[in-house]
Amino acid sequence: MKFSDLNLKTELIETLDELGFEEPTPIQQQAIPFVLQGRDLVGQAQTGTGKTAAFGLPMLQGLDTDHRALQALIIAPTRELAIQVHDELYSLSKGLKTKVYAVYGGYSIGKQIDRIQKLKPQVIVGTPGRLLDLMRRQIIDTSYLKTLIMDEADEMLNMGFIEDIKAIVEQTPSSRQTLMFSATMPKSVQNLAQQFLTQPAEVKIEAKHLTADLIDQYFVKCRDSEKFDILTRMLDIESPDKAIIFARTKKRVDEIGRGLSLRGYDAELIHGDVTQQKRTQVMNEFKQGRLELLVATDVAARGIDVSGVTHVYNYDIPQDPESYVHRIGRTGRAGNEGQSVTFVMESELPYLRTIESLTKNQMTPMRPPTDQEAEASQVQQLIDRLNATIADGTVDPYRATAKLLLNHYESNALVAGLLNEVINNNTEIEVQISPQKPLPRAHKEEKGRSRGRRQFDGCQRKKNTDKFAKKEKSTKKYPKNKKTGKNSDKPAGKRRENANNANKSRHIRQDGSINTNSFKIRKKDK
């Protein structure tokens, strides 16, 4: 089946072609027709199965692009998912006059209000707390809402958003179309669907586990700044016939592709901003074996079917475990062996364990190769090629030139000079790859837990570098606590600060918005 078989607008089909989507996934094949018919729908599918496009494409098709009013609302459990859904809908709506905006906690609500009033988006994606806050302030008007979508409903209920969701839904028109997607279907999700959906169609896509018998999976633990040099040394040693290098953002893809070319590698890149003409040219060269390295984003690489890919390098570990499955599935096809290498930062190791759980296959740790090992491998590969060339007689036309050179140069110096010309000596060319923060520390194994500043920026506190410094136990005593009558080892100001922080934490939802229900008004004493 092709997307053109799903009765989608020409503009959407053209955008899908540009993004590299060649055929719909199972959830898209089954869900899109129901949504286009205007039916409510419950979809059970794992992350990474293409469910955003499954609800996004028919939702975008049903919008009145000339009417600058909110017509579709998507509720997502976390700001990371809200941003991800926004970015994908933004890409899918390129051929339409559609305005998409995302709102979430942890960001200035004043700026979001200004942006909504100026942009007048037809589609808003947001976390429950921030959406409800904006609705109560009458910034989000649902009078013209056509479609309400609840993404990862089970996750939202696990995080305690049930009351917020109910409050949001109750402020939407009863004539709306409601779509609900969930990875699992516990009783709580079924009850929610029964309460707010009308005779919904049901679509269920069974979770598929990767069969990776023919794929050797490795990981390299390193800092972000080390990744590029490690990658090039691996390419020198492995010398892959065809390899795909995956990065998380279009900017990274641009920089990695440019850097590889500067260092003399045969590399091209594709992502959502690459023109269709350029993309077609690059993919033809890659399929025909005239291009060795392809650098790509997840979205741009979806639907690609190229035989003979021997290596997949995950320059950035994917946030969704099933995206990893799609990535390494590009190699090890048709009975051929393949290899995948994932670069992972220390704080991202929990994501690695989640991936291993999904694939039911432990990755093997790999030590980063050294410059000396890379150079030695290049020399050995050259020797192997020379042996093959001499054996088949293709060097005969050059024997006279070789004799002439030997008359002018000492043999060791001549060979060393030729090696210097033949072997890639571009490793000294400095390549700048913009630093990228690691994935947030909180992930699916930590449902419902708050994420502090240290968890988001992935930083560790600076340790005391003086290894001879001794920690002395403080003997200082502060005034007695009036309630307990005991001395405290903390000053009164510090105790008040801790108490205030504890009170503040009760009023902050997990998506960063304010929980007004947690405030208690103390009655005056009579």
Q: Which residues contact 31 (CB under 8 A, 6 or more apart)?
A: 41, 43, 51, 54, 55, 58, 203
Find, among 320, 273, 21, the residue nearest to 151 by Cα: 320
| Residues 276 and 398 reside in one and the same domain | no
Average pLDDT taken over every residue of the chain? 81
Q: Are 507 and 514 in contact (CB under 8 A)?
A: yes
CA distance 208 to 214: 17
Domain-embedded: residue 223: yes
Q: What is the pLDDT of residue 294?
A: 95
CA distance 427 to 416: 18
Q: At what angle do helices 371-391 and 411-422 cross, to 10 degrees?
A: 110
Q: What average pLDDT does range 94-112 have in this prediction?
A: 92
Q: Are 340 and 328 in contact (CB under 8 A)?
A: yes
CATH number, domain at 331? Answer: 3.40.50.300
Q: Confidence class of residue 424 from pLDDT cuts 50, 70 and 90? A: low
| Residues 220 and 356 reside in one and the same domain | yes
Q: Confidence class of residue 517 from pLDDT cuts 50, 70 and 90? A: low
| Residues 275 and 381 reside in one and the same domain | no
| Residues 37 and 180 reside in one and the same domain | yes
Torsion of CA 367, 368, 369, 370, to 10 degrees: -120
Domain-embedded: residue 440: no
Of 349, 371, 393, the position where a domain reaches its end is 371
| Residues 80 and 124 reside in one and the same domain | yes
| Residues 383 and 294 reside in one and the same domain | no
pLDDT at 29 over 70: yes
Domain-embedded: residue 417: yes
Angstrom CA distances, 234 to 262, 376, 428, stand at 17, 12, 16
Half-sphere exposure (Cβ direction) of 229: Cα atoms closer than 13 Å: 17
Token pair recorded at residue 110: 């004043």
**Cβ neighbours, 10 Å, residue 352:** 18
Token pair recorded at residue 78: 């976390």
Query: Which DSSP helix (H) or strand (E) runs through 364?
Result: strand 364-365
According to DSSP H, which parts of 77-197 are helical? 79-92, 109-119, 128-136, 153-158, 162-170, 187-196
Domain-embedded: residue 458: no
Token pair recorded at residue 178: 């409601």
Q: What average pLDDT does range 198-225 have in this prediction?
A: 83
Q: Confidence class of residue 344 from pLDDT cuts 50, 70 and 90? A: very high
Token pair recorded at residue 317: 């570990």
Structure-model confidence comparison of residues 38 and 212, the more confident one: 38
Strand ranges inside 274-330, DSSP E: 293-296, 311-314
Domain-embedded: residue 466: no
Q: What average pLDDT does range 171-187 have in this prediction?
A: 93
pLDDT-wise least confident of 38-42, 342-346, 485-489: 485-489
Report phi then psi at 487, rounded to 5.
Answer: -70, 150
Pick from 147-161, 208-222, 272-286, 372-386 the range whose average pLDDT is largest.
147-161
Find, among 319, 354, 313, the residue nearest to 445 by Cα: 354
Q: Are 158 and 442 in contact (CB under 8 A)?
A: no
| Residues 26 and 109 reside in one and the same domain | yes
Q: What is the pLDDT of residue 451?
A: 35
Q: What is the pLDDT of residue 318?
A: 83
| CA 416, chain centre distance (Å) | 46
Domain-embedded: residue 190: yes
For the stretch 286-314, pLDDT in tens is 988 899 999 998 766 665 668 889 999 99
Q: Are 75 and 131 in contact (CB under 8 A)?
A: yes
pLDDT-wise least confident of 1-5, 64-68, 162-166: 1-5
Structure-model confidence comparison of residues 151 and 371, the more confident one: 151
Q: Confidence class of residue 390 from pLDDT cuts 50, 70 and 90? A: confident
Domain-embedded: residue 144: yes
- State which residues form the domain around 499: 475-521
Structure-model confidence comparison of residues 148 and 449, the more confident one: 148
Q: Are 178 and 151 in contact (CB under 8 A)?
A: no
| Residues 149 and 266 reside in one and the same domain | no
For the stretch 114-129, pLDDT in tens is 999 999 999 999 999 9
Q: What average pLDDT does range 415-437 have in this prediction?
A: 73
Query: Which DSSP helix (H) or strand (E) runs through 479?
Result: strand 478-480
Q: What is the pLDDT of residue 212?
A: 59
CA distance 34 to 55: 10
Q: How many domains does the chain have?
A: 4
Q: What is the pLDDT of residue 275?
A: 84
CA distance 137 to 176: 22
pLDDT at 261 over 50: yes
| Residues 383 and 265 reside in one and the same domain | no
Token pair recorded at residue 300: 């741009």
- What is the value of pTM for the model shown? 0.50
DSSP 426: G
Q: What is the pLDDT of residue 434?
A: 81
| Residues 405 and 495 reside in one and the same domain | no
Q: What is the pLDDT of residue 360?
A: 81
| Residues 199 and 219 reside in one and the same domain | no
Of 355, 371, 387, the position where a domain reaches its end is 371
Q: What is the pLDDT of residue 363?
A: 94
Of 147, 173, 204, the position where a domain reaches its end is 204
Q: 147-150 and 293-296: which strand pairing? A: unpaired
Q: What is the pLDDT of residue 523?
A: 43
Angstrom CA distances, 509 to 81, 126, 128, 156, 443, stand at 16, 14, 10, 12, 17
pLDDT at 33 over 90: yes
pLDDT-wise least confident of 43-52, 97-106, 466-475: 466-475
Q: What is the pLDDT of residue 171?
A: 95
End-to-end Cα, the chain, rounded Å? 75
CA distance 266 to 260: 8
Q: Confidence class of residue 462 from pLDDT cuts 50, 70 and 90? A: very low
| Residues 333 and 416 reside in one and the same domain | no
Q: Which residues contact 242 (CB under 8 A, 6 or more apart)?
A: 286, 289, 291, 292, 294, 306, 308, 309, 310, 311
CA distance 455 to 441: 5
Three-class SS of residue 266?
coil
Angstrom CA distances, 142 to 9, 87, 151, 243, stand at 25, 22, 18, 48
Query: Which DSSP helix (H) or strand (E) runs through 270?
Result: strand 267-270
Find, among 218, 240, 230, the residue nearest to 370 by Cα: 230
Q: What average pLDDT does range 136-153 have in this prediction?
A: 96
Helix, strand, coil in percent for the chain, rounding step 5: 45, 15, 40
Domain-embedded: residue 300: yes
Q: What is the pLDDT of residue 459?
A: 37
Token pair recorded at residue 385: 């090629």
